[in-house]
Structure 1
C-alpha cells in the first residue's frame, strides 16, 4: 500500500490561518494609517489653537506629535521598531496632554472649544495597546482619557461642564477598551494557531523520520530476500565446481550489499557519510513550495554520528520551514539558500539564508518552540552549535555546526 502523501508543500499550501506575526503587522499598519488620517484632520484646529499657547509651544507640540505619527507610520509599513515607535508616540501624547494647561496663556480664547489633542486620544491608546502588554495598556487606556477629562474641566481645556467632560472621557475609554479587547483576542488566537503549527511540524518531523526508517527497513528486507536467501538456495543446490564458484560470488556480493545497507541504516553509535545528510536535505527541499538554492562542498570523506545527522537534518528543516513561513517579501524577490559544508574528518556546517522580511530574535516569545527547541536545544543537545542572525528588513541567517567551534573552519 502506498505511503500517505506527507510532503511539506501540501502542509504549507493548505495553511490559511493567520499567525501572530500577521496580526502584529496588520494592527501596526492600521494604527499607522489611521494615525496619519486623524493627525491630518487636526491640523486646522492645531494651527488655530497654537495662538493661545505660549510662544513657540504650539509649534513644538505639533512638531513632536506629528513627527511621532510620521515615525510610527514609517515603522509600521517597514516593519521596523514598531513597538518602540508606538511607545514613543503614546509617551509624547501623554506629556503633551499633561502640559496643555500649563502652556495655554489665553484661557478665555479657549472657552467653548475642544483642545485638538482630543482627536488623537484614540490613536494614543491604540499605540499603547500595540506597544505594551495587556495590563499596562489597560492602565494607559483608562488613565489618559481620565487625564483629558480633568483638562477639559479647566479654563485652558475649554471650561466644559462636568457632564461633557465625563462623556468625552467615557467615549475615549470605550474606544480604547474595544481596541484593546479586539487586539488581545486576535493575538491570543494567533498565538494558539502558531503553537498548533509548531506542534504539527514536530509531529510531521517525527512521522517523516519514522516513515524513512520504515522505508529503509523494507529495503533491507527486500535485500535479504533477494540476495541472501537466493545465495543460500544457490549454495544448497550447487553440485558442480562451477555452481559452487557461482554461489561463492553470489555470497560475496550479498555480503557487500549487506555492508552497504548497514551504512545506510546504522545504529545510534555508528557514523555515516555526510552524503546521507545531503541526500536527506535535498529530498526535503524538493517538497517545499518555495525554492531553495542548494550548494554542497567538502563532503567527501566526512563522516558524522547518526544522532548528529538526525539533529542537523531536523534543525535545518525547521530553519527552512521558518523561512518558507515567515520570510515574506515582494513576490519573486525572496532568495533562499541552503549551504552544506563538510569539515574533514568529522564536522559539518549548514547555513540557511534568505533576504526576506527578517525579525528580532530577542523579541521571539519563549512559547515559540521553532527556534529554542527545534534548532538551538536540538543542536546543543548533541554538542553542536546554532546561531540565528536576523533583523527587521535584513533577512535571516541560521548557522548550524557540529561539533561546536567547527563553524570557523568551514
Structure 2
C-alpha cells in the first residue's frame, strides 16, 4: 500500500469516527476534555480525601451517572428543550419552596430535599441549568437587543430563585444563579448605558444585602477576606492555611500524596471547596497551570459552540452556560487564593459532590445538543 493510500485510509477512518459521534449527538472535543477532567479529578480527590476509597467510589459513580445524563440530554433537539423550559422553571421554583417549608438541614443550612432511603439532592443545583435556559427562552421570543420591559421581566424571573436560595442560606449558589441569568441578558445585547446603570445600582443593593440579608457568618467572611490575620485561629484559619498550601508547592510541588497541609488536617474542606490548594501543594505551579489550560480549552469550545449555534435560543443558552462555568472556576480559585471572599463554591469537576457533578455534565449535554443538532436544524 502506498503512502497516499494509507493517508486516504486514515482520513476515511477519522471521517467515520466523526460521523459516528455526530449520529450519537456527541461533541468529540467536549467529551475528550470532560473525560480528562473526570479521570484527573479522581487522582486529586484520592489524595485530598486522605486516601478515602468510599469518597472516590462515590465520585466515580456520580461522574458515570453524569456522563449518561449528558449523553441522554444531547439527544434532544434544542427546540424541543425550549418548549419545556417554562415548566422546568415552575418545577424548579416549586422545589425551592419545598426546601423552604420542609427541607433537610445540615451544617446550619437548609438546602436539601431528603427522601429517606431514596435520594437527597439540592434543587438549587438544578436552577444552575434552568435559570439561563429560562432567560434564553424568554428573550429569544422577542426582538434583540431587548427592550427595557423585557429586561425587567427577565430580572424578575432571576430574583425569585435568587432570593429563595439566598435565604437557605447559600450565598455562593445564589450569586451563581444570578450570574447565569445576567450573562444571558448581557449576551442578548444590552446597551452600555444600561450596564453602567446596573453597576451603579449594585452599590445600594450590596448595602441593603449587608444590613438585611447577610448572616453574621457571611459578614465574618467578608471581614476575613479584608484582613485574614485579624483572627488567625478562627475565621481567618481557612484562608491562611490555604495560601500556605499554595505557596509551599512551589513550581513542581511536593509530589502526589506528599502534601502536608491536607494530610495533617491543617487545611479544612480539603476535598471540596479548597481542593485546588491540595493540588497546588502536591503538583505545584505546573499542575495548576495544566488544570487551567484544560479549563481554558473547555471554555473555548463552549464559546465556539455559542458562535456556531443556528438558533437564537441555542446561542443565548450556550453562551450563558459557558460563561457561568467560567464564573465557577474564577470564584473558587479566587476565594481559595485570598482574592475573593469565601462563599462556598466548589471547583468544577475536581471538588467532591454528586449533585454538583451531575448538574455540570448535564449542562455540557445541552451544549452538545446545540452543537450536534445544527445540521438537522439547517435542513428542517
TM-score normalised by the shorter chain: which range applies?
Answer: under 0.3
Higher relative contact order (CA 8 A, sep 6+): 2
* Higher-strand-fraction structure: 1
Q: TM-score, normalised by structure 1?
A: 0.23
Q: TM-score, normalised by structure 2?
A: 0.25
